[in-house]
Chain A
Amino acid sequence: MNIYLIVFIYLFLNYASQNEDGSEVERTSRFSTTLPGVAHVPFLTPAVVQERRPLIVAVMSAAASGTSKAAHGDVAAKRKKGPGALATAYLVIYNVVMTAGWLVIAVGLVRAYLARGSYHGLYYSIEKPLKFFQTGAVLEILHCAVGIVPSSVVLTGFQVMSRVFLTWAVTHSVKEVQSEDSVLLFVTAWTVTEIIRYSFYTFSLLNHLPYLIKWARYTFFIVLYPMGVTGELLTIYAALPYVQKTGLYSVTLPNKYNFSFDYYTFLILIMISYIPLFPQLYFHMIRQRKKVLGHIEDYGKVE
């Protein structure tokens, strides 16, 4: 039943893509990009990273490129030789599989809700596909490293690892938070985000980008991003007492490596780090939205 649903959605979108404007103005379009690696931000095209990047993005690119001025954001804006037919085919398959996977999660959530009649404990019904597909996103770091995707390895790595961190080091590790509603909040945000993002890449690779998908990608984040961040923060906050009580992932002195680590303090620092990061990334995306969708509105006016 799930399969038919997925196939149906695909056919629909494909049909809808016939009349659309195709590839975007600023993208090289031949190959997919993982988002240009702005942490936690699903909706960026690579080319636009160049513009007035927030400090955290600039710092991370600088860190990534060391002393050389690689600035992968620049690369994306220029015409680059495509990654080749084989790499493109692989990327299409990758993005299709990821889209399908997140659709499975979405459908799983809906079905579980309908079956139970309540929002509680839906995490358990999609725990395995969530772990599988979110962890699978680690491949995107590899894509950047190998060069078939023109994004910064560091930025992509940061984003993917922060998701993986929440999936494994918080939600999986602290069983008591799995029944929290905040988990549903961020899982839903991630699911919708990823479905749109991966389909966006798929269609871009195939040069048939429906305007609907592009619009969705640059609009849904307005709600989904704060929603996801709220869910994540609440989940981490809920995990704190259990971490402190059990000393999870913590190392104390004395030990022969003369090292200590307090996971509880670490989680608090993570939460605090959202404060500078989130507004920068959010407003960066809003600027990108104006840039990308702004063009289309202008065309409309001309007619």
Chain B
Amino acid sequence: MVNSKSATGNKRVANGAVVPAPLPVQAQSKRKPAKKTKKAVVFFEVEILDAKTKDKLCFLDKVEPNATIGEIKSMFHKSHPQWYPARQSIRLDPKGKSLKDEDVLQHLPVGTTATFYFRDLGAQISWVTVFLTEYTGPLVIYLLFYFRVPFIYPPKYDFTTSKHWVVHLACMCHSFHYVKRLLETLFVHRFSHGTMPLRNIFKNCTYYWGFAAWMAYYINHPLYTPPIYGEQQIRIALIIFLFCQIGNFSIHIALRNLRPPGSKTRKIPYPTKNPFTWIFLLVSCPNYTYELGSWLGFTLMTQCLPVAFFTLVGFIQMTVWAKGKHRSYLKEFRDYPPLRSPILPFIL
């Protein structure tokens, strides 16, 4: 389950610290060709106030008109080293939306003395770090239960393995799923934001690790009961699971290819030659659809109520995300295909 924001190739990782390029020459070369250096450059003055207390936090004079918010954040960081750029929210209005790092100073509705409001977003942590941590947990935890390390089950079962072959299959599927996620995090996903609030890592890890432990406990329990319909049920479930894993991966690749590395363009995703992406005709966020499918397959395979709960909770969260994403698509693109639903074709 990946909240796949649209990609960026911009490798602003960790605390999102970006080395600023305040020199006009360098800044010029990064920009689109439209700007010319006039002989008399009108420098801007920038003052940054605290959004809540309206205290004057920083005053920058002689700011290039084509300076970006990102560069201003770096300058602000110099005077307030505790607020690295990733945790700065700069806005025109104390209660307004955050300005983007790419916004250019002279294109904003400000006079030559610009007043910005600052809000501390709190300690930040990179998306990549969070993803790696939250996905490694379930991988390891499940295996602890699978190998029946001591203090989980009655001592006579320590380091034994289940006699049911579906339990081995389930372990392989579960592990495959999280290895896939880890690899996607490292090599496939392109995150538009470098960071998220620090407290998210605790929230997310509790969710993933907690559920993984809960599910793994029952599946690998000595008193586990295999599916009622036996081999037939397991086979169908495995097919569903694999189908959706491939589908999910295909969507991630398709989304990655929407955006060349280094840009932050947002485009409507369309079906490609890969049949697994044809679901884009009906759904805005098919990665979530396939994820739901995978977990339904896993539920069927293990016939385990905690897995069903996990699937349900995940589905609810992904639906919330899908609806939000669908809404942003509709807002941003006039010609967005009307047939698409957020997550379930025609239904939701």
Contacts and interface: CB of A to CB of B under 8 A. Distances in A.
Given A66-B317, A67-B324, A259-B218, 14 more contacts: A66-B320, A67-B321, A68-B324, A253-B223, A256-B228, A257-B303, A257-B305, A258-B218, A258-B219, A258-B221, A258-B225, A258-B303, A259-B305, A260-B218
Contacts of A67: 320-321, 324
Q: Dominant SS at the B interface?
A: helix
A19 interface: no
A257 B324 CA distance: 34
B304 interface: yes
**What 10 A-B pairs come out closest when comparing CB atoms?**
A259-B305, A254-B223, A66-B320, A253-B223, A258-B304, A257-B305, A258-B218, A254-B225, A256-B225, A258-B225
A253 B225 CA distance: 9
Interface residues of B, number: 16
B304 A259 contact: yes
Interface residues of A, number: 11
Nearest to B307: A258
Interface in A184-205: none
Contacts of B324: 67-68
A257 B320 contact: no
Given A67-B324, A253-B223, A258 B317 contact: no
Interface string A254-270: 11111110000000000
Contacts of A253: 218, 221, 223-224
Q: Is the interface of A mostly helix, strand, loop or mixed?
A: loop
Nearest to B305: A259
Interface string A235-275: 00000000000000000011111111000000000000000
Contacts of B321: 67
B68 interface: no
Nearest to A59: B203
B306 interface: yes
Interface in A140-193: none
Interface in B275-310: 302-306
B141 to A, nearest CB: 17
A256 B227 CA distance: 7
Interface in B193-239: 218-219, 221, 223-225, 228
Interface in A53-81: 66-68
A258 B320 contact: no
Given A66-B320, A67-B320, A258 B228 contact: no
Give the one of A66, A254, A258, A260 with max B CB within 10 A: A258
A189 to B, nearest CB: 33
Nearest to B224: A258
